[in-house]
Amino acid sequence: MEAHAPQPCQKRDPDAFEQGRVDLAGLRERGAAGEIELAYLDEAGFTQTHPNRSAWTPVGQQHRIEAHRGPRLNVLAALLSTGHTFFVPLWESVTAGLFAAFLALLKRRVDKPLVVVLDNASIHRATAIAPHLKILAAQGVTLHFLPTYSPELNRIETLWRLVKHRWMQPRHRNKAELEAEVTLILQEVGARYQLAF
């Protein structure tokens, strides 16, 4: 018997990954020069019972977090090249239609060409939103899809990790507390909460 079940092999094309790194470096240069607004976009879910990866507890005591079940807070967010975030918290599933609406809201906040870096999730490529994406493209929105199996190229993945496992304390929250805390953290990115790349 094996201690761990075999993991499926995720095959990343090393050439596509390297090309993705080079392309992003060029986009970051254009963003730093003010030619474009670069936005790293992704969705993340937050539960009322905080994920507990590991913890230190005094000897003889059990580390516990109340595990009340409740609805999941989904957040659509973009980490902008200005260092700030634009986000929308939702107490519902993120759909292709909500993704397209989020892009339209994001474009309203940006006064230059917008390049959105994102993964290949099905909601980002749904046929149903193709007409909306055409309208956004005419307004200066370009979608830049990352190579498959390359989450480390999307800088917002680092933001999600920090929010969930460093900036939020492991404890149970009710709906209002969860939304308020996630909102406060995302509003303070670039000020109180810093990312370094």
Per-residue pLDDT of the chain (197 residues), as tens digits, is 344 444 445 688 999 999 999 999 999 999 999 999 999 999 999 998 876 656 667 788 776 655 667 889 999 999 999 888 999 999 999 999 999 999 999 999 999 999 999 999 999 999 999 999 999 999 999 999 999 999 999 999 999 999 998 999 888 899 999 999 999 999 999 889 988 76
CA dist., res. 182 & res. 59, Å (int): 32
In the prediction, which pLDDT does 1 show? 36
**pLDDT value at residue 196:** 77
Radius of gyration (Cα) for the chain, nearest Å? Answer: 19
pLDDT at 49: 81
- CA-closest candidate to residue 162, choices 116, 117, 193: 193
Question: What pLDDT is stored for residue 69 in this prediction?
Answer: 73
The model's pTM is: 0.86
Beta strand segments in 65-160, E? 73-80, 85-90, 114-118, 141-145
Q: Which of 44, 129, 55 is nearest to 94 (CA)?
A: 44
